[in-house]
Amino acid sequence: MKKLLFVLAIGAFAACGTGSSTDATADSTMSNVDSVANAAKDTINAMQDSATQMIDSTAKAAKDSVKAKM
């Protein structure tokens, strides 16, 4: 019985000592999430700018059309 406990203790100690840290993985994951979020934000901002320009040009054309009819 003592030999079995000794083997289990050595195995548990070896397993705990050889594990890798999850801190680097968590930091890497957060960096990836941040970069994806920033890319999505940039895309949304570009779409918003494009839509704003289209609305402005359409409104200007409509205003010019109304002025021409007067």
Of 13, 30, 34, 14, which Cα lies nearest the Cα of 22? 30
Report the pLDDT value the prediction gives residue 63, as an integer from 0 to 100.
86
pLDDT in tens, 13-50: 766 655 555 566 667 777 888 888 888 998 998 999 89
Query: Which H/E stretch holds residue 18?
Result: none
Residue 18: predicted pLDDT: 54
Tokens of 36: 């994806």
What's the whole-model pTM score? 0.47
Query: Is 22 in a helix, a strand, or coil?
Result: coil
The percentage of residues in the chain with a pLDDT greater than 70, rounded to a whole number, is 80
Residue among 4, 57, 53, 69 nearest 45 (CA): 53
